[in-house]
Structure 1
Amino acid sequence: INDYLLDNNLHPDSIKMNDVSFKNIESLLANHPSIKSANVYSDMQGKVFVSVVQRKPIVRVQNGKDGYYLDEDGLRMPLSNEYTARMLLVTGEVNLVNVNDLYYLSNIIIKDEFLKKQIVQIDINKDSELLMLTQIGEQLEFGQIKEVGEKFEKLKLYYEKGNSQNQEYKALNLKYKNQIVCIKK
C-alpha cells in the first residue's frame, strides 16, 4: 500500500497535512485490483490511518495464456505478478461457460470441506462439459453445470460407501441421473 501510494504521489507522509485528500487516496486505493474497499482518516494529532479490505480470490481461471481470479463476490481480478495463490484451477474452453455459473460451482466446492480437499482442477471441453481432476487421481466426468447438488451428493455417497479406496477406476461419470458410471483403467 505504501509503495502504491508513493508511486502515485499520494502518500500522506510525503505531503503537507493540509494538502492530504482522503477522498483521492480512497479513490486511488478503491481502483487497485486487489482492494475491495479503503478507508482513510486521521486522529486528533493529525496522524493519518489507511485501512483496506483485500479482495479474496476463490478460483483461478486459466484461459490459454490469459488468466484471472474470481473473487468471493464473483468479480474478476487480475493474476498477481508477485505470487500464485494455491486454489481451485479452471482451464480449457472457459469462454463457453457463463462466469456466474462458474462462480456458483466454485463456491459450492470451496465451501464443502470434502469437495475442497478432493477437487483440484476443472477442465472445460468444447461442449461446455466439465472434467474434474481429483487429489487421488480419479477424473470426474461432471457434464454441464446443471443439477450440481445432485451430482455432488451422488459422489459423496459413492465415497461414503467405501469406494474411495477403489483403484480400478480411472474416471467416474456423474452426468446421468441417479447413477454413477465407473470407467475402468
Structure 2
Amino acid sequence: MKRSLKFIQPLILILLIGGLYGFAEHRHKNRKLTDIKVSFTETENLYVTEEVVNKLLIQSNDSVSSIDKETLDLNRVEAMLNDHDMIENAEVFLTLDGKLKATVSQRKPIGRVAGNSSFYLDRNGEIMPLSEYYSARVPLMFGFDGSTVAEVYGIVSYVQNDDFLRKHITGITRLNAEAYALELRENDFQVYFGDTTKIDLKFNNFKAFYKKATKDKKLNTYKKVNLQFGDQVVCTKK
C-alpha cells in the first residue's frame, strides 16, 4: 500500500500542476485587452500620429476592452499598420498584463518634389505622399515626376546624410536626364552638378571649394560653380 502511494502521489502532483497550467493558459488567452500603447522608434516629427495608429489597432470598430487575446491576429494587425503610407515598419505584441503594444518606425523623407504633383522621396528611394500632420524641411526637387525622381536618389541621400550639405543645399533641379543643378541657402550662384556619377568626389570638392572661398571672402563673386568634371571645380565669375 505504501509502495503504491509513492507512485500515486507524484502522478497526482503532475496532474495538478498540468491542470493549473492549463487553467492559467486558458485565462491568459481569454483575458481582455486593457490598454493600447504606441511608441515611435524616433522622437522626430510625426508624419502619422498615435491617434491614427490606435484606430488602426482596434479591429472591427470594437472597443479595446472587447478584443479577446485568443481571437486577436497579431500578424494581421502588423500587416495593417505596415500598409499605411507613413509607416516604414511596425511590430505589435501583447504583454502578460493584457496590454497591446506597437513599436512604429515612420518613413523618413529626404526630398520633396514640387510641381503639378507634390510628394516626398523617402530614405529608401521610394515615393512617399505628403503628410497632413507635418511638412518636412528637406530639399525641394524641381522638374521631377514619379518616373524620374529615383534618378537622383544617390545625390539626395548623400545630402541628407552629410551635416554640411544638409545645412547649405535647399534644392535640386533636373535640367535633363543626365544633368542636375543644386540651389544653396545663402548664396545666389548655381551649382552645376552634372550627372549622378562620382557623387562622393564631387561633393568633397565642393565642400573644399566652399570653405576656401568663404575664408577668402569670394563666395559672392561667382555666378556658377561647375562640379561635373569630378577632379576639379570650375567657377564662373559674375
- Does the pair score TM above 0.5? yes
Contact map agreement 1:29 1:38 (CA 8 A) in 2? yes
CA distance in 2, matches of 1:83, 1:161: 37
Matches within 5 A, 1:10-159: 13=64, 15-17=66-68, 18-62=70-114, 64-94=115-145, 97=148, 99=150, 101-137=151-187, 138-159=189-210
Amino acid at match of 2:72: V
CA distance in 2, matches of 1:36, 1:108: 20
2:232 corresponds to: 179
Contact map agreement 2:168 2:186 (CA 8 A) in 1? yes
Which of the pair has the greater relative contact order for Cα pairs under 8 Å at 6+ separation?
A: 2
Tell me which structure has the larger Cα radius of gyration: 2
Contact map agreement 2:223 2:236 (CA 8 A) in 1? yes
CA distance in 1, matches of 2:62, 2:137: 32
Segment drifting more, 25-34 vs 121-130: 121-130
Contact map agreement 1:93 1:126 (CA 8 A) in 2? no
SS of the residue aligned with 1:51? strand
Q: CA deviation at 1:104?
A: 1.4
Q: TM-score, normalised by structure 2?
A: 0.67
Compared CA separation, residues 52 and 106, structure 1 to 2 (3 A): same
CA distance in 1, matches of 2:120, 2:146: 14
Give the ranges of 4+ consecutive aligned residues of structure 1 lying more than 6 Å apart after TM superposition. none
Tell me how many residue pairs correspond in the alignment: 182
Q: CA deviation at 1:94?
A: 4.6
SS of the residue aligned with 1:32? coil
More strand by share: 1
Root mean square deviation of aligned Cα: 2.5
Query: Any gaps of 5 or more consecutive residues in structure 1?
Result: none
Contact map agreement 2:121 2:149 (CA 8 A) in 1? no
1:160 equivalent to 2:227? Answer no
Identity between Structure 1 and Structure 2 (%): 31
